[in-house]
Amino acid sequence: MKVAFWSNEYEKSHAFHNFAAISIASVMSNPYTITVLENYLGRDNLGKAFFVDNDNIHARSGGTCFYEGGGIEGLLRRIYRGDNDPSILRGYLKEVIPEHLYYIPKSGVINSELFDYEMHNNLNELLGIITNSTDICYINSSQQNHLSSKVILQEADIIVINLFQNPEYLEDFFKNYYSLIPKSIFIVGNYSPKSIMSCKRISKLYDIPIENISPIPYNEYFHIACNFGGAKEFFNSNYFCTRESAHYLFIHGVRKAVYMILKRVEESILLDKEVMEYCGV
């Protein structure tokens, strides 16, 4: 099952922090194995959020050249050479939460344009290898005009859209990206209940079921945690926080988003089983 995360206003919607939070929360009380990755190079990467020693997680394994690296670049090069055995994935995974959450880091040995080109050309094979080895694949997709982003959004079973509470940005999304809506659920990132564009208003204006929208407010402490490899520890400490906690609204929004995603995943799995049974497979 492939779940893409995307936004037409990546920074202001805090899409990266929402992606990091949902990735962790998705395995806190659920039995799935999830592999997460990004289709871009940049400072906002999950390695920074997940690991204190992020600079050391890209160490290259023996026998790989500098160009290939030991992260997703190396994996893409092996796929390009025709190695599509799902077992190769294990050597490129970094374990985040044992037996449940895995991350494919980047080595940073090639530039962004070449990385996007190679991701685009080998994406279907990459996704095939991942989905053969894990229950769900989460992909954080750049809002920029990347070739691979377009294919990721096409191939995704579910799209998680990060919205921003600004009428112009909302109008831009619902006017220019309406084709994504049928397989999308929505997060309103950096959410403020004082904004005129509340979840209820967005739901009413754009005919989106309110149960498919989750508000996630800004949380300064989680933002800081993501800068220093403390995202897991933040959720370990606050996942079951009470209403009296300063983190409650943030955690509640993340947990609702996870519920929406996994509910849609389970519905898709059940539908696939029914189709296979009907076809006698």
Domain that holds residue 89: 2-278
Question: How far is 20 from 17, CA to CA, in rounded Å?
Answer: 5
Domain containing 142 — which CATH number? Answer: 3.40.50.300
**165 in Cβ contact with 14 (< 8 Å):** no
Coil, strand, or helix at residue 33? coil
DSSP 175-230: HH-GGGGGGEEEEEET--TTSSS-HHHHHHHHT--GGGEEEE---HHHHHHHHTT-
**149 in Cβ contact with 39 (< 8 Å):** yes
Sheet holding 136-140, edge to edge: 94-97, 101-103, 34-38, 136-140, 2-6, 158-163, 184-189, 213-216
pTM of the model: 0.92
Q: What is the pLDDT along the chain (281 residues), one digit of tens a residue?
A: 999 999 988 888 999 999 999 999 999 989 999 999 999 887 778 999 999 976 655 544 434 444 456 689 999 999 999 998 999 999 999 999 999 999 999 876 678 888 899 999 999 999 999 999 999 999 999 877 788 999 999 999 999 999 999 999 999 999 999 999 999 999 999 999 999 999 999 999 999 999 999 999 999 999 999 999 999 999 999 999 999 999 999 999 999 999 999 999 999 888 777 766 767 76
In 3D, which of 71, 145, 151 has the Cα closest to residue 105?
71
Our CA angle for 161, 136, 38, nearest 5°, is 55
The total of structural domains in the chain comes to 1
Cα-based distances in Å from 5 to 15, 140, 141, 223: 8, 5, 6, 18
pLDDT at 69: 60
3-class secondary structure for 243-278?
CCCCCHHHHHHHHHHHHHHHHHHHHHHHHHHHHHHH
Identity of the amino acid at 236: N
